[in-house]
Structure formats: structure tokens, C-alpha cells
């Protein structure tokens, strides 16, 4: 037994008899006795705490915890009305006391709130709890001691008001304000080097954007040609896979991310665990401190980049920096999305080449080179067959082969409202009715890769009809189909739904930032670009100058071929149109 410690709380047995001047004595345990006699009052008090009718404010002192209640007077008045409704009269407790049990009500509410930390934090205004240590049996990432052992992923919404510049068919440029964009980043924990990033147009990023960021972190980084005067790569700037060619398609062992729905989607986890072959550490909810390095990177981007640009939104509506950087409605002073892409490229490349305080004033690229080439740290690479088929990072869809013999329609598959086929499938009558595994590229749906159920590859299937002409992604096709169905329901039929969708968004972009953002997404998706087809065969082999053979990826071989082949000379052709009138 511990001296002076109560084992049980005080329980009043006798009825309350108030004595003393103005009822100041004889009320020990009277409030608890009242709540025991009237359970409805106890339930009502608990409901007021749950509904946050009374708030708990912490007084920050160096000593013990001190708190005070906000809104106690209104709760006390309502409590007295509840007592009258229960049948209590002026001669009963608490009406026969001097303060009508105000102080004891305050102590009771404080005790109920502080009984549990979650209830106290909720009453104080906290939206979520954090800081709970992990249990020993929970799987967590190890301490990073070498590059590509542990990486961190997260998304940050840039605090900048942006615009998009669109040229009409006459050549005139139109400016529209768009919504803020997301910056998705994968950073190496050991060297603090940014492996890859992705800029996302939209209010939220999806699982396809996360997978796209993973692809950019795996692929060798390609240098950008800057159009803004004064921007260029420095001698010590760049990305790890660009400066160290052996880091192309290097994979990591652990990745730490938060509990966003896009991060924990089945396709995202399948791409990380099965395709890349790494372990995922989602961490506890609402705990950004579990990923300190990527959060610190976003703080650097916010301090040294976003806050210095015109159109900075600030941290709150009354932020002085927001007022100073406000262009006063002048869209010409806003940063365009194309300019933002170049600025982000330069900022991250400059970050990788800037001395880091956490690395003893060594740049992330120097730290990466020291570990890889100096200490010969072990790094795993993506398998060669996976490098040529990054589209397999997406989860497979099952599509059944269709054909209509009486109409002469050849075998094909239907995917997202369009038909896909190739010469092999169109001639394979024995595949009618069988299911195929289809892998898509969410950025370009003009072609997909198909596999038979036994795993053998059928090849690249091309979309048929108008979808074959214009490059488009999955989101654009869904939006166009949705808009086309709406117009068809209203009795309007469009011969070209893509053009009708563009006209609709262009008309709405003048007054709605969401429509302007969707219009920018469409313009970026349908920008003329070559159709990237991945050959089904093995990689091509070329001889080097020393006589050795090295495998060159088809994408690199295609780029080399385009650069080395001479540009053909265009010759005028005579049109076969006769003169005069034809009857």
C-alpha cells in the first residue's frame, strides 16, 4: 500500500443537506450523488463533451498541466435547465448552493476530458493524434547505411497560383488561371539525393501518378532543354541516374510513404512489391515525422522556391508574403505551367548539387558517387526484360476476344469503350471467346500489350477508330466518354467528341479554374508525339569499338537511329485533280 493514495473514490450515502452561509457546506460528493440518481444528466454531460460544446484550453507553463474551459457558462445554464426538466426544485441540489454547482461542474468536465488523451486532444481542437511509438512486432524500414536501401515518397501541393497559355487556331494566345499542382518526389535517405519527381495537374493525384513517379525514378534521367534565359545545368548539378550512368534502372529495397489512398492502392502496391521488388513501409497515420527527409525537402522548396514567385498563396489568408506577391489579377505576371516545369527541373537539379548540412556540407551527388564508385556499395537493378516493359508495372486487365462472323468483324477486344486488335489477333479465329491479359499505359492508350493466359505474348494491340489518331490518356478518354454520353442523352450527337470536349472546356475555362486545369490536361495529352511501341523480341545487340557486344535498349536504339539518319528532302507532288467540271 502506498501512503496517502485513495483506493476508491468518495461515494456519498446520505442525502444532501446544505449548511453554512449561502449553502457552502455539506456538499461533499453531492454532484456525483446527483449524477447517480439521474443517469440522464450524466449522459447529457458526456454528449456535450463529445459534441465539443465546451472546449479545453491548455495554459502553457513550465510547471504542471494547467487548463481552462471555454464555453462553460452556456453549458452550465443548459445543465440547470436539464435539472429542472428532471424534476429538481429550488430546494434541491444544485439550486440551493451559492454558485449553482458551477465550480464542481468545471472540475467534473475537466476530469472527464483528461481521463483519456484522445478525448482531451479532441476537446482541445486536435483533428488527429500522432506520436504513438511503434510496437516491436510491427515491420519498419531499417536505418539507411547505403544508397538505394531506403527511399521516401510523398506529395506536396505547391503554394503557387499558375496559369496556362493556349493558342487558338488563329494563332492568338489565351491565358487561363489553373488550380495548384502537385509535386511528387522520391528521395534517397542515405544521400538525400532526389531520384525522380513528377508534376501532376489536378486537385488530387491518383495511383497512376504514383506509378509514373516510380517509372521516372527508375529510368535514366533525360536532360531538359531550358527556354527561360539564364537557366542551365551547372557542372555539379543534375540527377544521380544522369551523372552516374550505372544507376539507370537501379531499384531500392524499402520505400516509406504515407497512408494516402493513391499510395495504398492495389496497383501501386503491386508495382512496388512485385515489379520493383521492394518492401513498403506505410507508417502510422498522420505522422509526417516518419518521413523527415522528404518533408524537409518540401520545406526547402517552399522557402527557397514557392515563396519567391509571383502568385504565392502563403500559409494563411492574412500572410504578408501573400499580399506582397499578389499580382492583383494580372494573369500575365503568373507563372505558366510550362515555365514551372523548367523551374522545378532546375531547382531539384540545383538541390542535388548544393552542399547539404546533414551530409557534412557534401552535396547529395558527391555522396552518391562516394558510395557507388568509392566504397563500391551493392546496388540491385531492374531485370532487363522489365526495363523494356515498364507498362507491366500496371495491373493486368482481363478482356475477352470478340468477333462477329455474320458481320465479318475480325477478332478484337473491347477496352474502355474502344476496340483493340493487331494482325495476329485479327487472323486468330481460335482465340475467339478466350480471355487475354492486357497491360495498359495510362499516359497513352493508343496501344496496349496483350498476353495469352499461359503467359505467352500476343504483341501490341492498337486502338481502332478516331482514338488512334490523337494521343490521349485514360483520364481523358473517361472524361470524353462521359461528356459524349451526356450530350447523346440530351439529343446531341458529335461526329468528333474530342473536339466537342475541347470546345466545352475552352468555354468554361474563362470562369472556372477546374475547367482550365482539365483543358491543360487535354492539351498536354493530345500534343503530337510519336507512338512508343515496345518490340516483343529481345533487345538488339550492337558491336562496340572494342569488339565487345553490349545490349542496347530498343528505346535508346530508336533515339540513336533518329539522330543518325539524315532528314529526307521533301519534294512537291502533283495533285491528280483534273480541270473543268465533271458531270
User: What is the predicted pLDDT for the residue at 492?
Assistant: 56
Residue 582 has pLDDT above 50, yes or no: no
Range among 25-34, 369-378, 500-509 with highest mean pLDDT value: 369-378
Contact criterion met (CB below 8 Å) for 178 and 338: no
Distance CA 74, CA 67 (A): 18
Question: CA angle, corner 225, sides to 220 and 231, nearest 5?
Answer: 110
Contact criterion met (CB below 8 Å) for 164 and 516: yes
From 81-90, 270-279, 286-295, the region with the lowest mean pLDDT: 286-295
CA 180, distance to chain mean position in Å, is 13
Burial class (CB in 10 A: 0-12, 13-18, 19+), 502: middle
Nearest CA-CA partner of 347 in 242, 194, 187, 157: 194
Q: Could you give the percent of the chain with pLDDT greater than 90? A: 35
HSE-up (13 A, CA, CB side) for residue 250: 24
Q: What confidence tens digit (pLDDT) does each residue in 195-204 have?
A: 999 999 888 9
Helix (H) or strand (E) holding 66: strand 66-70
User: What is the predicted pLDDT for the residue at 562?
Assistant: 41
User: What is the predicted pLDDT for the residue at 253?
Assistant: 95
pTM: 0.71
User: What is the predicted pLDDT for the residue at 542?
Assistant: 40
Nearest CA-CA partner of 446 in 423, 429, 413, 468: 468
Residue 288 has pLDDT above 80, yes or no: no
Under the banding of pLDDT at 50, 70 and 90, the label for residue 493 is: low
Q: List 550's β-bridge partners, or say none.
A: 542
User: What is the predicted pLDDT for the residue at 483?
Assistant: 76
Q: List 153's β-bridge partners, or say none.
A: 186
Helix (H) or strand (E) holding 215: helix 207-218
Question: CA angle, corner 578, sides to 573 and 580, nearest 5?
Answer: 145
Q: What confidence tens digit (pLDDT) does each residue in 305-320 have?
A: 988 888 888 877 777 7
**What mean pLDDT is reported for the chain?**
82
Burial class (CB in 10 A: 0-12, 13-18, 19+), 524: middle
- Classify domain 396-469 by CATH architecture: Roll (2.30)
| Three-state DSSP class for residue 336 | strand
Distance CA 260, CA 205 (A): 10
Other beta carbons less than 10 A from residue 343's beta carbon: 17
DSSP 377-403: ---EE--HHHHTTGGGGSPPEEEE-EE
Residue 194's φ and ψ, nearest 5 degrees, are -80, 120
Per-residue CA distances from 557 to 441, 510, 519, 552 (Å): 21, 44, 34, 6
DSSP 316-329: STT-HHHHHT--TT
HEC readout, 157-197: ECCECEEEEEECCCCCEEEEEECCCEEEEEEECCCCCEEEE
Under the banding of pLDDT at 50, 70 and 90, the label for residue 135 is: low
Contact criterion met (CB below 8 Å) for 183 and 340: no
User: What is the predicted pLDDT for the residue at 566?
Assistant: 47
Range among 208-217, 382-391, 448-457 with highest mean pLDDT value: 208-217
How many residues can be counted in the chain? Answer: 583
Nearest CA-CA partner of 534 in 426, 393, 425: 393
The residue to which cell 489579377 is assigned = 329
The residue to which cell 529495397 is assigned = 253
Q: What confidence tens digit (pLDDT) does each residue in 355-382 have?
A: 999 999 999 999 999 999 999 998 999 9
Distance CA 163, CA 330 (A): 11
Distance CA 351, CA 359 (A): 13
Q: Which three cell numbers stand for residue 198?
A: 513528377
DSSP state of 538: P
Under the banding of pLDDT at 50, 70 and 90, the label for residue 384 is: confident
Distance CA 509, CA 489 (A): 24
HEC readout, 390-457: HHHHCCCEEEECEEECCCCEEEEEEECCEEEECHHHHCCHHHCCCEEEEECCCCCCCEEEEECCCCCE
Other beta carbons less than 10 A from residue 95's beta carbon: 15
The residue to which cell 552535396 is assigned = 363
Burial class (CB in 10 A: 0-12, 13-18, 19+), 164: buried
Under the banding of pLDDT at 50, 70 and 90, the label for residue 522 is: confident
Per-residue CA distances from 276 to 386, 388, 482 (Å): 9, 14, 34
Contact criterion met (CB below 8 Å) for 183 and 300: no
Burial class (CB in 10 A: 0-12, 13-18, 19+), 171: exposed
Residue 544 has pLDDT above 70, yes or no: no
Distance CA 432, CA 15 (A): 88
Residue 175 has pLDDT above 90, yes or no: no
Superfamily of domain 150-385: Ribonuclease H-like superfamily/Ribonuclease H (3.30.420.10)
Distance CA 472, CA 522 (A): 8
Domain residue spans in the chain?
30-123, 150-385, 396-469, 471-533
Amino acid at each position: 500500500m502506498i501512503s496517502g493514495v485513495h483506493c476508491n473514490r468518495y461515494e456519498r450515502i446520505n442525502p444532501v443537506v446544505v449548511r453554512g452561509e449561502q449553502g457552502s457546506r455539506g456538499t461533499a460528493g453531492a454532484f456525483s450523488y446527483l449524477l447517480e440518481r439521474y443517469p440522464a444528466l450524466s449522459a447529457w454531460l458526456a454528449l456535450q463533451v463529445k459534441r465539443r460544446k465546451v472546449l479545453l484550453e491548455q495554459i502553457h507553463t513550465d510547471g504542471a498541466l494547467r487548463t481552462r474551459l471555454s464555453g462553460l457558462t452556456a453549458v452550465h445554464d443548459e445543465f440547470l435547465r436539464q435539472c429542472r426538466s428532471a424534476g429538481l426544485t429550488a430546494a434541491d441540489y444544485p439550486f440551493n448552493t451559492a454558485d449553482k454547482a458551477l465550480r464542481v461542474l468545471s472540475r467534473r468536465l475537466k476530469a472527464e476530458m483528461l481521463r483519456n488523451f484522445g478525448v482531451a486532444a479532441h476537446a482541445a481542437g486536435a483533428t488527429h493524434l500522432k506520436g504513438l511509438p511503434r510496437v516491436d512486432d510491427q515491420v519498419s524500414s531499417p536505418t539507411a547505411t547505403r544508397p538505394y536501401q531506403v527511399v521516401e515518397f510523398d506529395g506536396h501541393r505547391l503554394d503557387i497560383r499558375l496559369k496556362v497559355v493556349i493558342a487558338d487556331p488563329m494563332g492568338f494566345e489565351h491565358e487561363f488561371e489553373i488550380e495548384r499542382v502537385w509535386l511528387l518526389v522520391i528521395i534517397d535517405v542515405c544521400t538525400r539525393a532526389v531520384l525522380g519527381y513528377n508534376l501532376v495537374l489536378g486537385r488530387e493525384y491518383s495511383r497512376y501518378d504514383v506509378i509514373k513517379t516510380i517509372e521516372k525514378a527508375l529510368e535514366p534521367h533525360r536532360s531538359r532543354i531550358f527556354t527561360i534565359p539564364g537557366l542551365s545545368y551547372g557542372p555539379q548539378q543534375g540527377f544521380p541516374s544522369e551523372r552516374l550512368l550505372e544507376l539507370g534502372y537501379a531499384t531500392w529495397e524499402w520505400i516509406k510513404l504515407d497512408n494516402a489512398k493513391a499510395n495504398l492502392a492495389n496497383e501501386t502496391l503491386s508495382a512496388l512489391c512485385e515489379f520493383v521488388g521492394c518492401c513498403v513501409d506505410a507508417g502510422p497515420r498522420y505522422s509526417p515525422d516518419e518521413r523527415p527527409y522528404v518533408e524537409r525537402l518540401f520545406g526547402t522548396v517552399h522557402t527557397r522556391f514557392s515563396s519567391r514567385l509571383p502568385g504565392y498563396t502563403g500559409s494563411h489568408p492574412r500572410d504578408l508574403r501573400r499580399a506582397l506577391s499578389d499580382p492583383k489579377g494580372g494573369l500575365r505576371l503568373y507563372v505558366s505551367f510550362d515555365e514551372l516545369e523548367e523551374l522545378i527541373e532546375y531547382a531539384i537539379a540545383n538541390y542535388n548539387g548544393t552542399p547539404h548540412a546533414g551530409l557534412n556540407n557534401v552535396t547529395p551527388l558527391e555522396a552518391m558517387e562516394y558510395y557507388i564508385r568509392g566504397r563500391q556499395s551493392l546496388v540491385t537493378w531492374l531485370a532487363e526484360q522489365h526495363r523494356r516493359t515498364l507498362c507491366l508495372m500496371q495491373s493486368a486487365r482481363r478482356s475477352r476476344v470478340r468477333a462477329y462472323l455474320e458481320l465479318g468483324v475480325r477478332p478484337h477486344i473491347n477496352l474502355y469503350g474502344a476496340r483493340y486488335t493487331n494482325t495476329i489477333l485479327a487472323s486468330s479465329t481460335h482465340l475467339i471467346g478466350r480471355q487475354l491479359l492486357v497491360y495498359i499505359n495510362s499516359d497513352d492508350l493508343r496501344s496496349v500489350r496483350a498476353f495469352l493466359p499461359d503467359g505467352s505474348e500476343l504483341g501490341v494491340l492498337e486502338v481502332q477508330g478516331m482514338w488512334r489518331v490523337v494521343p490521349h490518356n485514360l483520364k481523358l478518354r473517361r472524361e470524353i466518354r462521359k461528356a459524349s454520353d451526356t450530350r447523346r442523352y440530351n439529343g446531341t450527337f458529335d461526329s468528333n467528341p474530342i473536339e466537342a470536349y475541347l470546345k466545352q472546356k475552352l468555354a468554361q475555362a474563362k470562369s472556372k479554374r477546374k475547367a482550365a486545369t482539365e483543358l491543360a490536361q487535354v492539351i498536354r495529352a493530345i500534343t503530337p508525339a510519336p507512338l512508343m511501341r515496345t518490340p516483343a523480341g529481345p533487345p538488339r545487340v550492337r558491336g562496340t569499338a572494342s569488339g565487345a557486344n553490349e545490349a542496347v535498349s530498343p528505346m535508346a536504339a530508336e533515339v540513336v537511329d533518329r539522330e543518325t539518319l539524315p532528314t529526307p528532302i521533301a519534294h512537291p507532288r502533283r495533285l491528280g485533280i483534273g480541270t473543268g467540271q465533271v458531270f
